[in-house]
């Protein structure tokens, strides 16, 4: 069972029972943060990308990785930051839940992507921007051509091969999803304004994406919450999960029109439903 602690909201004084999260270490063992049962939860009033992550050492193999900082949404509207202890993470059961970790030191993989993230506030692709692949309209040369030929376009240029990022930490999963969206043609990728109940939210022009790097399959509620948030912002949405999806979540996603992808450990998103297949084939429109 995962660790849980009692958390009191400093705004409304409600008591909550917070269950510790679990994430997959590079060695394959699920790890969860060591929560501080004597600490006091604080309300989040300001966000920055660096503050959203803490480092944790796997108790099984000793590796250090970066994970989303544990938080809890109170019914009063406050977002609570859960205190953690500075020690090795516990080895967790295979049914881990939502985000969190304990702070220690930045992992080598996180440091490699961190420099790019600081430049734009989200993970950046190190190999430059994707070619748009939108064929330019050819101008007729010489004499005026027949009206049926006047609007001829060249075929869209093929996209260059996708360059995945190996996933070792939760941050790597977010980076891989952001790089993939950029490869599809989405621009202005950034941290989403609203934090999803599970995982990390990222946004682009006309798109809201959720990245779930936990070791449990995404649930029906996770998919519906993403869709509802996207509806309020009048934008499309897409879901990336490291552990797949519950059967009812896949069925509901097809009904709501949500593309679903699974992130394999090579960092390559694999389409799960036909909507994801279409997005992968056509890219951003």
Q: According to the model, what pLDDT value does residue 141 have?
A: 43
In a domain, 68, yes or no: yes
* Domain enclosing residue 239, as ranges: 110-124+159-282
Q: Is residue 270 part of a domain?
A: yes
Q: Cβ of 54: how many Cβ atoms within 10 Å? A: 19
User: What was the pLDDT predicted at 47?
Assistant: 64
Q: 137-173 burial string, b = 16+ CB within 10 Å, else e? A: eeeeeeeeeeeeeeeeeeeeeeeeeeebbebbbbbbb
**Do 39 and 24 belong to one domain?**
yes
Asked if residue 50 and residue 186 are part of one domain, the reply reads no
- Rounded Cα distance between 18 and 155, Å, is 54
- Regarding pTM above 0.75, the answer is no
- Predicted local confidence at residue 50, as pLDDT: 64
Q: How far apart are CA 163 and CA 186, in angstroms?
A: 16
- Do 83 and 117 belong to one domain? no
Contact assessment for residue 184 and residue 284, using Cβ atoms and an 8 Å cutoff: yes
pLDDT score recorded for residue 142 = 45
Distance (Å, rounded) from C-alpha 102 to C-alpha 107?
13
CA distance 174 to 64: 17
- The mean pLDDT values, 10 residues at a time, for the chain of 285 residues are 77 85 73 80 74 77 78 83 69 39 35 40 42 42 43 53 84 90 90 85 93 91 94 94 94 96 92 95 87
Report if residue 178 sits inside a domain. Answer: yes
Domains in the chain, number:
2
- The verdict on residue 181 lying in a domain is yes
11, part of any domain? yes
Asked whether residue 59 falls in the same domain as residue 179, the answer is no
Do 84 and 114 belong together in one domain? Answer: no
Rounded to a whole number of angstroms, the distance between the first and last alpha carbons of the chain is 45
d(CA 120, CA 162): 21
Say whether both 244 and 115 belong to one domain.
yes
Same domain? For 27 and 91 the reply is yes
Alpha-carbon separation of residue 106 from 26, 153, 285 (angstroms): 15, 50, 37
Query: CA dihedral in degrees (257, 262, 266, 267; nearest 10)?
Result: 40
Tell me, yes or no, whether 140 lies in a domain: no
> How many CB atoms are closer than 10 A to CB 95?
13
* Nearest CA-CA partner of 174 in 105, 85, 241: 241
The number of angstroms, rounded, from the C-alpha of 44 to the middle of its chain's C-alpha atoms is: 20
Flag whether 65 is in a domain. yes
pLDDT at position 88, please? 54
Whether residues 120 and 188 share a domain: the answer is: yes
């Amino acid at each position: 069972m995962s660790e849980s602690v009692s958390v009191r909201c400093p705004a409304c004084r409600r008591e909550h029972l917070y269950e510790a999260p679990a994430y997959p270490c590079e060695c394959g063992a699920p790890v969860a943060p060591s929560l501080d049962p004597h600490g006091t939860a604080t309300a989040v009033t300001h966000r920055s990308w660096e503050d959203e992550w803490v480092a944790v050492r796997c108790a099984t193999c000793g590796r250090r990785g970066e994970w989303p900082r544990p938080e809890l949404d109170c019914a009063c509207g406050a977002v609570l930051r859960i205190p953690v202890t500075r020690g090795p993470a516990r080895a967790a059961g295979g049914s881990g839940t939502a985000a969190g970790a304990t702070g220690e030191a930045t992992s080598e993989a996180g440091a490699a992507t961190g420099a790019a993230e600081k430049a734009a506030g989200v993970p950046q692709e190190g190999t430059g921007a994707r070619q748009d692949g939108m064929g330019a309209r050819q101008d007729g040369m010489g004499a005026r051509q027949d009206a049926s030929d006047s609007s001829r376009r060249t075929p869209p240029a093929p996209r260059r091969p996708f360059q995945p990022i190996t996933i070792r930490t939760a941050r790597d999963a977010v980076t891989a999803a952001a790089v993939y969206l950029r490869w599809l043609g989405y621009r202005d990728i950034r941290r989403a304004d609203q934090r999803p109940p599970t995982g990390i939210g990222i946004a682009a022009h006309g798109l809201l994406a959720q990245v779930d790097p936990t070791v449990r399959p995404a649930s029906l509620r996770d998919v519906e919450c993403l869709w509802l948030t996207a509806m309020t912002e009048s934008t499309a949405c897409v879901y990336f999960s490291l552990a797949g999806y519950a059967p009812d979540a896949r069925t509901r996603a097809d009904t709501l029109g949500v593309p679903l992808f699974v992130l394999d450990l090579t960092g390559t998103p694999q389409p799960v439903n036909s909507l994801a297949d279409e997005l992968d084939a056509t890219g951003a429109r």
